[in-house]
Amino acid sequence: MNLFQRFAMRAVGAAVCVFFAVFFGGPLLWLLLAPTRTGYELATGPAFAFGSLANVARTWHQLDAFAGGLFRRWMENSLIYSFSATALTLATSIPAGYGLATGRFRGRRLLLGVTVVAMTMPATALVLPIFLELNGLHLLGSALTVVLPFAFFPFGVYLAFIYYANALPPAVLEAARIDGCGEWEVFRRVALPLAKPVVALVFFFSFAADWTNFFLPYVVLPDSAQYPVEVGLSDMFIGGPKGELALAALIATAPVALVFALSQRALVRGLVTGATSG
């Protein structure tokens, strides 16, 4: 390959990268700039113009006053639903993955296969049976209507299974058993502390999936005051571009970004600790 061909390939690669950066970065840039402008400026002015920082404060006051503080309620609901479901997910997925990876019992392969099938099924396909089940249990209209289905996270079980099956040395667990530890103590004192990377991954993926889930809360929650923010935003404004809606969308993405940053820190710390301790 001559110099001209290498240059052409690099130029094409750079052009593709720039195209996708503009394609995906354009909407984000608009969201960042929209709260700085009034509704009239958004409707009549250039798409990516900057307004004023003072308008951001006015936009926030208008957003906070929307329907008597309904946006705050939506954010609180999302935090309650997502953190509660994620806590249940961690309490079930990590031990389940450990059991599937280290246990030798009848039906283990079947359980693992069911987990993979459930992981690949679209979430919308389960909405109707979940709705009928919750209705049969008389749970519709309560926070459990959202929390309990969110806590079902087969992808977290599979992540934990892959980690324990490939990254955890069996000799470490066997040494703990020889020292007299029961299976629960082996998991709690040895396997769980060594699983910081996968705990961080399951935490992030579960929280992100719960926070951004739209269809299930939209179907099972009858009152708009019970909506999470993802559902509330869809009913917030109808019409032209609004700075309040853009600011609400930015605020709604902040918890996911924060959880991602914290999960990345925990993941890196866990990997470094595992490398240095070996």
**pLDDT number for residue 273:** 43
Least-confidence region, from 149-153, 165-169, 214-218, 263-267: 263-267
Rounded Cα distance between 80 and 143, Å, is 9
The residue among 268 and 204 whose pLDDT is bigger is: 204
Q: What is the pLDDT of residues 20-38, one digit of tens each?
A: 888 888 888 888 888 888 8
* Residue 83 burial class via C-beta count within 10 angstroms: exposed 0-12, middle 13-18, buried 19 and up: middle
Higher-confidence position of 242 and 259: 259
Mean pLDDT of 244-267: 84
Greater confidence (263 vs 32) lies with 32
Look at residue 241 in the predicted model and tell me its pLDDT: 54
Given a contact cutoff of 8 angstroms between Cβ atoms, the answer to whether 153 and 89 are in contact is yes
**Average of per-residue pLDDT across 240-265:** 83
Using the CB atoms, write b or e for 202-216: b if 16+ within 10 Å.
bbbbbbbbbbebeeb
pLDDT digits (tens, 9 = 90+) for 58-107: 888 888 888 788 899 999 999 999 999 999 999 999 999 988 888 888 88
71-277 has which CATH code?
1.10.3720.10
**Percentage, residues of the chain above pLDDT 70:** 92
**In the predicted model, is pLDDT for residue 276 greater than 70?**
no
Own/partner pairs for 63-71, CB < 8 Å, 24+ apart? 63/244, 63/247, 63/248, 66/236, 66/244, 70/224, 70/225, 70/232, 71/229, 71/232, 71/236, 71/248
Q: Where are the domains of the chain?
A: 3-51, 71-277
| pLDDT value, residue 77 | 94
Tokens of 219: 């179907």
Q: Alpha-carbon distance 266 to 207, whole Å?
A: 15
Which tokens sit at 109? 């392969």
Identify the pLDDT of residue 200. 87
Whether the predicted pLDDT of 215 surpasses 70: yes
Structure tokens at 253: 């993405």
Helix (H, G, I), strand (E, B) or coil at 201: helix
Q: Is the pLDDT of residue 149 over 80?
A: yes
Q: Is the model's pLDDT at 270 over the cut of 50?
A: no
Nearest to 61 by CA among 236, 248, 216, 186: 248
**How high is the pLDDT of residue 274?**
42
C-alpha 33/C-alpha 47 separation (Å) is: 9
**110-121 pLDDT per residue, tens:** 888 888 888 888
- pTM recorded for the entire structure: 0.83
Please report the pLDDT score of residue 90 as a whole number. Answer: 94
pLDDT above 90 for 163: no
